[in-house]
Amino acid sequence: MTESLADIAQALVTSGKGILAADESTGTIKKRFDSISVESTEDSRRDYRELLFRAKGGNNFISGVILYDETLRQNAADGTPLSKVLQDQGIIPGIKVDLGAKPLAGHDAETITEGLDGLRDRLKEYAKLGAKFTKWRGVYKITDETPSFAAVSANADALARYAALAQEAGLVPIVEPEILMDGDHDINVCQAISEEVLRSVFAELANQEVELEGILLKPNMVIAGQDCPEQNSVEEVAERTVATLLRCVPAAVPGIVFLSGGQSDEQATNHLNAMNKISSNLPWKLSFSYGRALQAAPLKAWAGKKENADAMQQAFLKRAEDNSRASTGTLD
């Protein structure tokens, strides 16, 4: 592993900073735009993301941004590549490289993430376009029968093979095994499945000889399903999540950047804050890699209108600052 991979990974988890996930697919961002009655076009998507990226002072709270393929290739309104807009502010551009979760053959209701075919060449191109890190998401759903051993092992293998290819290309891989909040399972079930998934992922990373100093982990928090009648306290979620990570995540990993999943903006922030308050001597940094939890408020404030640009950026900066403070356990 080159020293620069470890340097980039450490820079992404600089104290008080986290990652903006702006890698929504065209279909997903259309749904977001539909919610504010804005047509999703190449230009409107560019305009929206450019406003986020140019928010003055955003680099005080944001270390990196995960981009979608379209966005990495786009130029700002003044002709500057959006990746350079970020780099000029000291923010590291990254890229989502998986092609989405598809049905897992022979296993109804379970998925395998695709995109390994041709990935080596795509990674080389992304590096030339300015990306410094990557992301790949594996998805697991909890039911009485799932996740199966086949789904756990297949997604772990794909995550590890992706990570090895990313490091080969000189890019830091963010490894994202996400256990969905869908369902009525309690926190005990989520914790048991989270441990099973994480152990499988790190076993496969070892098999593929991935250098852990040059990766980041992006997991779910240990939390009850959204339909579970018993929802646990912020402190309980924080304690269970930290305990699970201590059991399963090697100390060599520089940082853990949580996804927000189905949580509300405030829930995701408060849980992260609680984890950092109760844990002062962890082997890795605990921070955020949020999409919806950073963007819901600014998207609403923007509403597709140029005159709302300042209000939109201020809403984004407020969410970014709150999560920055949560990543150091200093949010009141």
Could you give the residue numbers annotated as active site?
176, 218
d(CA 13, CA 128) in angstroms, rounded, equals: 23
Give the number of other Cβ atoms within 10 Å of residue 291's Cβ: 18
Q: Which residues of 75-88 are buried (b: 16+ CB within 10 A; e: fewer)?
A: ebeeeebbbebbee
Q: Are 186 and 237 in contact (CB under 8 A)?
A: no
Q: Which residues of 161-197 are buried (b: 16+ CB within 10 A; e: fewer)?
A: bbbbbbbebbbbbbbbbbbbbebebbbebbbebbbbb
Q: Are 75 and 83 in contact (CB under 8 A)?
A: no
- Amino acid identity of residue 286, one-letter, is L
Element (H, E) at 38: none
